[in-house]
Chain A
Amino acid sequence: MLLIPCPWCGPRNQLEFTYGGDATVKRPLPDAPMKTWLEFVYLRDNPRGPHQELWHHSAGCRQWFKVLRDTQTHDILASGRADEALPGATA
Chain B
Amino acid sequence: MTQAFRLPTGGIIDRSRPLRFEFDGTAYEGYAGDTLASALLANGVHLVARSFKYHRPRGILCSGSDEPNALLQLDRGARTEPNVRATTQELFDGLIAASQNRWPSLRFDVGAINNALSRLLPAGFYYKTFMWPPTPRWWLRYEHFIRRAAGIGRSATAPDPDRYEHQYAHCDVLVIGGGPAGLAAARAAAHAGARVIVCDENPAFGGDLRGMNDDSANIDGKACATWIDEAVRDLSDSADVTLLTRTTAFGYYDGNLVALSERVADHLAAPLAHMPRQRMWKVRAGTVVLASGAHERGIAYAGNDLPGTLLAGAARTYIDRHAVRPGSRAVVFTNNDSAYAAALSLSRAGIAIGAIVDAREDSELTGALAVRAREHGIRIVSGSMVPAAHGSKRVTAVDIESLSGGRGTRVDCDLVCVSGGWNPAVHLFSQARGSLRYDESLAAFVPERSPLAIVAAGGVNGCSDVGGALADGHAAGLNAAAKAGFRGPASYAAPHAEPVAPGRLRPLWSVPARDRSGKRFVDLQNDVTVSDIALAVREGYESVEHLKRYTTLGMGTDQGKTSNIVGLALLAEQLHRPISAVGTTTFRPPYTPVTLGAYPGEEAGAHLEPTRYSAMHDWHVAHGARFINAGLWRRAHSYPRAGETPDDAANREAKNVRTNVGLVDVSTLGKIELQGNDVAEFLNRVYINRWDTLAVGRCRYGVMLRDDGMVLDDGTTSRLADSHYLMTTTTVNAVEVMQHLEALLQIDWPELDVYLTSVTEQWSAAALSGPKAREVLAAVVDIDVSNAAFPFLAVGTCTVRGAAGPMPARLFRMSYSGELAYEIHVPADRGRATWEALLAAGARYGIMPYGTEAMSTLRIEKGHVVIGPEADGRTTADDLGMGKLVNAAKWCVGKPLLSRPALIAPDRWQLVGLTALDGAVMPRGAKIVADPDHALPNPMLGHVTSWCWSPNLESWIALALVANGRARHGETLWAVSPLADAKARVRVRIGPPTFIDPDGERLRG
Chain A residues closer than 8 Å to B746, beta-carbon distance: 63-64, 82
Chain A residues closer than 8 Å to B750, beta-carbon distance: 82-83
**Contact B896 A30, beta carbon cutoff 8 Å:** yes
The minimal Cβ–Cβ distance linking B279 to chain A, given in whole angstroms, is 18
Can you pick out 21 interface pairs between chain A and chain B where the beta carbons lie within 8 Å of each other?
A3-B254, A3-B256, A20-B743, A27-B748, A28-B896, A30-B891, A34-B896, A34-B899, A34-B900, A37-B896, A38-B897, A40-B707, A41-B708, A56-B739, A62-B742, A64-B746, A64-B747, A73-B433, A75-B451, A82-B746, A82-B747
Q: Which of B882-905 contact A (CB under 8 A)?
A: 891, 896-897, 899-900
Contact partner of B743 among A3, A32, A40, A56, CB < 8 A?
A56
B253 at the binding interface (Cβ < 8 Å): yes
The minimal Cβ–Cβ distance linking B647 to chain A, given in whole angstroms, is 38
Q: Which of B609-660 contact A (CB under 8 A)?
A: none
Closest to A76 in B: B255
**Contact B257 A3, beta carbon cutoff 8 Å:** yes
A82 to B282, CA, bound (A): 30
Chain A residues closer than 8 Å to B899, beta-carbon distance: 34
Q: A2-B254, A3-B257 are in contact. Are A64 and B742 (CB under 8 A)?
A: yes
**Chain A window 28-55, contacts with chain B (Cβ cutoff 8 Å), 1 for yes, 0 for no:** 1011101001101110000000000010
**Chain B window 749-763, contacts with chain A (Cβ cutoff 8 Å), 1 for yes, 0 for no:** 010000000000000
B277 at the binding interface (Cβ < 8 Å): no
The minimal Cβ–Cβ distance linking A39 to chain B, given in whole angstroms, is 11
The minimal Cβ–Cβ distance linking A36 to chain B, given in whole angstroms, is 9
A51 to B746, CA, bound (A): 20
**Contact B255 A3, beta carbon cutoff 8 Å:** yes
B284 at the binding interface (Cβ < 8 Å): yes
Contact partner of B257 among A1, A28, A82, CB < 8 A?
A1
The minimal Cβ–Cβ distance linking A25 to chain B, given in whole angstroms, is 10
Q: Which 4 A-B pairs have the closest CB atoms?
A: A3-B255, A30-B891, A37-B896, A64-B746
Q: A40-B707, A64-B747 are in contact. Are A3 and B742 (CB under 8 A)?
A: no
**Chain B window 314-353, contacts with chain A (Cβ cutoff 8 Å), 1 for yes, 0 for no:** 0000000000000000000000000000000000000000
A28 to B742, CA, bound (A): 18
Q: A37-B897, A73-B451 are in contact. Are A1 and B254 (CB under 8 A)?
A: yes
Chain A residues closer than 8 Å to B257, beta-carbon distance: 1, 3
**Contact B743 A41, beta carbon cutoff 8 Å:** no
Closest to B707 in A: A41
A83 to B751, CA, bound (A): 11
Residue among B254, B707, B750, B891 with max Cβ neighbours from chain A (10 Å): B254
A83 to B253, CA, bound (A): 31
Closest to B757 in A: A62
Closest to B255 in A: A3
A27 to B749, CA, bound (A): 9
Contact partner of A41 among B256, B451, B897, CB < 8 A?
B897
A42 to B748, CA, bound (A): 17
Q: Which of B14-46 contact A (CB under 8 A)?
A: none
Chain A residues closer than 8 Å to B253, beta-carbon distance: 1
Closest to B168 in A: A13
Closest to B745 in A: A64
Q: Which of B417-463 contact A (CB under 8 A)?
A: 433, 451
A30 to B427, CA, bound (A): 54
**Contact A54 B433, beta carbon cutoff 8 Å:** no
**Chain B window 558-600, contacts with chain A (Cβ cutoff 8 Å), 1 for yes, 0 for no:** 0000000000000000000000000000000000000000000
**Chain A window 1-25, contacts with chain B (Cβ cutoff 8 Å), 1 for yes, 0 for no:** 1110000000001100010100000
Contact partner of A58 among B168, B282, B739, CB < 8 A?
B739
A42 to B709, CA, bound (A): 12
A56 to B741, CA, bound (A): 12
The minimal Cβ–Cβ distance linking A65 to chain B, given in whole angstroms, is 8
A40 to B433, CA, bound (A): 35
Chain A residues closer than 8 Å to B451, beta-carbon distance: 73, 75
Closest to B253 in A: A1
Chain B residues closer than 8 Å to A62, beta-carbon distance: 742
Closest to B899 in A: A34
Q: Which of B218-264 contact A (CB under 8 A)?
A: 253-257
Chain A residues closer than 8 Å to B897, beta-carbon distance: 34, 37-38, 41
The minimal Cβ–Cβ distance linking B739 to chain A, given in whole angstroms, is 6
A3 to B170, CA, bound (A): 12
Q: List 15 other contacts, CB 8 Å, given A20-B747, A34-B897, A54-B743.
A: A2-B255, A3-B256, A3-B257, A3-B284, A13-B168, A14-B255, A32-B896, A37-B897, A38-B897, A40-B707, A41-B897, A56-B742, A58-B739, A74-B254, A82-B746
A56 to B707, CA, bound (A): 18
Chain B residues closer than 8 Å to A75, beta-carbon distance: 451
A37 to B900, CA, bound (A): 11
Chain A residues closer than 8 Å to B256, beta-carbon distance: 3
A8 to B433, CA, bound (A): 30
**Chain B window 891-930, contacts with chain A (Cβ cutoff 8 Å), 1 for yes, 0 for no:** 1000011011000000000000000000000000000000
Residue among B282, B746, B750 with max Cβ neighbours from chain A (10 Å): B746
The minimal Cβ–Cβ distance linking B670 to chain A, given in whole angstroms, is 15
Residue among B253, B255, B743, B748 with max Cβ neighbours from chain A (10 Å): B255
A59 to B708, CA, bound (A): 27
A28 to B893, CA, bound (A): 11
Chain B residues closer than 8 Å to A64, beta-carbon distance: 742-743, 746-747
Chain A residues closer than 8 Å to B747, beta-carbon distance: 20, 27, 54, 64, 82
A26 to B900, CA, bound (A): 21
A3 to B453, CA, bound (A): 14
The minimal Cβ–Cβ distance linking A71 to chain B, given in whole angstroms, is 12
Closest to A23 in B: B747
Chain A residues closer than 8 Å to B708, beta-carbon distance: 41-42
A83 to B749, CA, bound (A): 10
Chain A residues closer than 8 Å to B282, beta-carbon distance: 1
Chain B residues closer than 8 Å to A42, beta-carbon distance: 708
Chain A residues closer than 8 Å to B254, beta-carbon distance: 1-3, 74
Residue among B747, B897, B899 with max Cβ neighbours from chain A (10 Å): B747
A14 to B282, CA, bound (A): 13
Closest to B900 in A: A34
A42 to B896, CA, bound (A): 13
**Chain A window 69-91, contacts with chain B (Cβ cutoff 8 Å), 1 for yes, 0 for no:** 00001110000001100000000
The minimal Cβ–Cβ distance linking B744 to chain A, given in whole angstroms, is 8
Chain A residues closer than 8 Å to B742, beta-carbon distance: 56, 62, 64
The minimal Cβ–Cβ distance linking A30 to chain B, given in whole angstroms, is 4
A40 to B747, CA, bound (A): 14
A28 to B254, CA, bound (A): 35
Residue among A30, A31, A42 with max Cβ neighbours from chain B (10 Å): A30
The minimal Cβ–Cβ distance linking B930 to chain A, given in whole angstroms, is 34
A4 to B748, CA, bound (A): 22
Chain B residues closer than 8 Å to A41, beta-carbon distance: 707-708, 897
Closest to B685 in A: A30
The minimal Cβ–Cβ distance linking A3 to chain B, given in whole angstroms, is 4
Chain B residues closer than 8 Å to A58, beta-carbon distance: 739
Chain B residues closer than 8 Å to A34, beta-carbon distance: 896-897, 899-900
Closest to B892 in A: A30
Closest to A31 in B: B891
